[in-house]
Amino acid sequence: KKKARESCSLPGSSWEERLANAVTPLWRLPYQEQLQVKYESQRKILQTLASRLEELGIDAQKPGGLCCPLQPVVPSPIINGYRNKSTFSVNRGPDGNPKTVGLYVGTGRERNIVCVKADHVENIPSKHKQVAQCYEEFICRSPLDSCILFHEGGHWRELVVRTTSCGHTMAIITFHPQELGQEALATQKALLKEFFTCGPGAVCALTSLYFQESTMTRCSHEQSPYQLLHGAPHIFEKLLGLKFRISPDAFFQVNTAGAEVLYQAVGELCQATGDTVLLDICCGTGTIGLSLAQRVSKVIGVEVVEKAIEDAEWNAAFNGISNCEFHTGKAEAVLPQLLASWEDARPLVAVVNPSRAGLHYRVVRAIRNCPSIRRLLYISCKPEGEAMRNFLELCCPPDPRKKLAGEPFAPVLAIPFDMFPHTVHCELVLLFTR
């Protein structure tokens, strides 16, 4: 990341190069070299974890100073244009146009943010770039200003584009209402719909066009409902022979082809048998649990986003899967109740796939204190962040003060998956057992 920021400011580099260096810092490297860079970064993370465990009095040093064996990075089946979701900002471009739709170069702290069109960025598919270009054309025609800083007024804000391998495209436009009344808002929505259905934007062939009024940086459907202006309420994706319904704010792995490889490996690492119960924590639209449902006796999914759970339940019913149950709510509220009264004799395997914020401590504690869970798969897109705290909480000795009574876990295998070619990130699957 540091190198990416340094290369962003290299004299003589074009704005396009600066953006590519910021968003996809490995784009100049041949793909095999990218994988090696990622392998080394994951190796350092496992070395750090081993050292942290040693500090807790746990003998965790394995060959190479790692806490467990590290397999080579599993490559992505698709290297360019793999993203099925892109978020575009609206801000001043290099030419001073305040209605530029693109991605940021610079930082808010240094007050040097410039919004650069993403036409050349290699991980974004052409369809997303097309929708972004059309949105820019629309807001440039609009008499309403873009909303760069909330307190300075303006209305047009970010654009999210989601696509699927089924050929579906969803666009979600965020709008700051400021002081506009309902009639004025209705006019803007009508103009937007007309542009994307009958005007120049019709070339995008949108499956769904959504509009969200928001006075916050980000807000959920519950805080400010997504309003469907045109088309179908959902788009659909195929994954491992199953069909999945996707709502505007539902989590879905950003690299569909990579997700298939990841979920197949997760299925093997679970070592599930016909009597296994699979606990899918932070389950999103149910992709992991549903893709493994035929291997296990039961799947229990937990997810905070209500619309995602609605999708998960629809996905289960549509695919004829009847051995899944889904719970809506924060994992730290749902899981302790679920596991505190757990008396099922069947083996219980947990898969957790949290956001970068990691798992709440109460979730880790509930897992630790449930003796039926002997095997845990932790999927993390940022293992060096808050997930590291979770790893230590899972593996530390019992601590009555923290109400950690359960036997500790131990890391036994790590497999990185390159879900994000051209970037420094990858998805790490860490297998814990006890």
Q: Are residues 264 and 226 in the same domain?
A: no
pLDDT value at 17 more than 90: yes
Q: Are residues 220 and 345 in the same domain?
A: no
Q: Are residues 191 and 327 in the same domain?
A: no
87-125 pLDDT, tens per residue? 999 999 999 999 999 999 987 777 788 999 999 999 999
Q: Are residues 232 and 289 in the same domain?
A: no
Q: Mean pLDDT over residues 256-270, rounded?
A: 96
419 located within any domain:
yes
Final residue in a domain of this structure, among 207, 236, 265: 236
34-73 pLDDT, tens per residue? 999 999 999 999 999 999 999 988 887 777 889 999 999 9
21 located within any domain:
no
* CA-wise closest residue to 248 among 305, 170, 174: 170
pLDDT value at 292 more than 70: yes
Q: Are residues 90 and 232 in the same domain?
A: yes
Q: What pTM was estimated for this model as a whole? A: 0.90
Q: Are residues 167 and 278 in the same domain?
A: no
Q: What residues have CB less than 8 Å from 338, skipping those under 6 apart?
A: 300, 302, 327, 366
Q: How confident is the model at residue 350 (pLDDT cuts 50, 70, 90)?
A: very high
Q: Are residues 186 and 328 in the same domain?
A: no
pLDDT value at 9 more than 50: no
Higher pLDDT, 419 or 224: 419
pLDDT value at 126 more than 90: yes
Question: What is the distance, to the nearest Å, from the Cα of residue 129 to the centroid of all Cα atoms in its chain?
Answer: 20
CATH number reported for the structural domain that contains residue 371 in this entry: 3.40.50.150
141 located within any domain:
yes
Supply angle C-alpha 112, 115, 117, rounded to 5.
Answer: 150
High-pLDDT (> 90) share of the chain, % = 78
20 located within any domain:
no
Q: How confident is the model at residue 4 (pLDDT cuts 50, 70, 90)?
A: very low
Measured in degrees and rounded to the nearest 5, phi and psi for residue 87 equal -115, 120
Q: How confident is the model at residue 33 (pLDDT cuts 50, 70, 90)?
A: very high
DSSP string computed for 376-396: EEEEES-TTTHHHHHHHHHHS
115 located within any domain:
yes
130-146 pLDDT, tens per residue? 999 999 999 999 999 99
Q: Supply the pLDDT for residue 220.
A: 67
Q: Mean pLDDT over residues 365-386, rounded?
A: 93
Q: Are residues 278 and 386 in the same domain?
A: yes
Q: Are residues 259 and 228 in the same domain?
A: no
Q: Are residues 198 and 269 in the same domain?
A: no
CATH number reported for the structural domain that contains residue 164 in this entry: 2.40.50.1070
Final residue in a domain of this structure, among 236, 269, 295: 236
Residues catalogued as catalytic: 381
Final residue in a domain of this structure, among 201, 236, 271: 236
* Mean of the per-residue pLDDT values of the chain: 92
**Bind-site residues:** 253, 303, 353
DSSP string computed for 70-81: BPPPBPPS--SS
pLDDT value at 8 more than 90: no
Q: Supply the pLDDT for residue 169.
A: 98
129 located within any domain:
yes
Alpha-carbon span 60 to 205, nearest angstrom? 54
48 located within any domain:
no
Helix (H, G, I), strand (E, B), or coil: what is residue 121? coil
Q: Are residues 191 and 271 in the same domain?
A: no
* CA-wise closest residue to 267 among 246, 233, 242: 242
Is residue 38 within 8 A of residue 414, CB to CB? The reply is no
Q: Are residues 167 and 310 in the same domain?
A: no
121 located within any domain:
yes
Measured in degrees and rounded to the nearest 5, phi and psi for residue 76 equal -80, 135
Alpha-carbon span 155 to 142, nearest angstrom? 10
**Bind-site residues for S-adenosyl-L-methionine:** 253, 303, 353
Structural domain containing residue 306: 255-433
